[in-house]
Structure 1
Amino acid sequence: MRARQLSRWTAGLVAVAAVGTTTACGSPPETSGTVPTDRNRPVGTERAADEKAAEKAALKAYDGYLTASRAASRHSDPQHPDLTRFLADPLLTRVRLSLRQARANGAVSAGALRSNPEVISVDLTAKPPTVEIQDCVDATGYRLVYVADEKVVPGTRGTRHLATATATRYPDGRWLISTGSAHQDQPC
Structure 2
Amino acid sequence: MRGRQLGRAAICLLAVVVAVPVAACGSGREAVERPGPALVDGQQADRDVERRAAEKAALDAYSGYLAASRTASRRSDPRAPELSRYLADPLLTRVRMSIREAKEHGAMRTGTLKSDPTVTSISLDSTPASVEIQDCLDASGYRLVYAKDKRVVPGSGGSRHLATATATRYPDGRWLINSSAAHRDQPC
Using structure 1 for the length normalisation, give the TM-score: 0.79
Cα deviation, residue 36, structure 1: 3.6
Aligned length: 156
Q: Is the 8 A contact 1:128 1:169 kept in 2?
A: yes
SS of aligned partner of 1:187: coil
Q: Could you say if the C-alpha distance between residues 35 and 178 of structure 1 is closer, same or farther in structure 2, counting changes exceeding 3 Å?
A: farther
Partner of 2:117 in structure 1? Answer: 117
Aligned to 2:11: none
Name the aligned partner's letter for residue 73 of structure 1. Answer: S
Find the structure with the greater CA-based Rg. 2
Query: Does 1:80 find its partner at 2:58?
Result: no
**Corresponding residue number in structure 1 for 2:39:** 38
Q: Distance in 1 between matches of 2:36 and 2:59?
A: 29
The equivalences for 1:1-188 within 5 A come to 36=37, 38=39, 41-188=41-188
Q: TM-score, normalised by structure 2?
A: 0.79
Residues 36, 43 of structure 1: 8 Å contact kept: no
CA contact (8 A) 1:61 1:176 kept: yes
Deviation at 1:104, TM superposition (A): 0.3
The one-letter code of the counterpart of 2:75 is H
Which structure has more RCO (C-alpha within 8 Å, separation ≥ 6)? 1
Deviation at 1:35, TM superposition (A): 5.1
RMSD: 1.6
Distance 1:173 1:36 in 2: 31
Deviation at 1:149, TM superposition (A): 1.5
Distance in 1 (CA, whole Å) between partners of 2:144 and 2:167 is 27
Q: Distance in 1 between matches of 2:102 and 2:37?
A: 56
Please list the CA deviations of residues 15-48 of structure 1 after superposition, one character each: whole Å capped at 9, or x if unmatched.
xxxxxxxxxxxxxxxxx97754528x43222211
Partners of 1:66 and 1:152 in 2: CA distance = 21
Query: Runs of 5+ in structure 2 lacking a partner?
Result: 1-31
Residues 35/102 of structure 1: CA separation in 2 closer, same or farther (3 Å cut)? farther
Q: Distance in 2 between matches of 1:36 and 1:89?
A: 43
Alignment match, 1:16: none
Between structures 1 and 2, the one with greater helix share: 2
Q: Which runs of 5+ in 1 are unaligned?
A: 1-31
The share of aligned pairs that are identical, in percent, is 60
Is the partner of 2:80 in helix, strand or coil? coil
2:83, 2:68 → 1: CA distance? 6
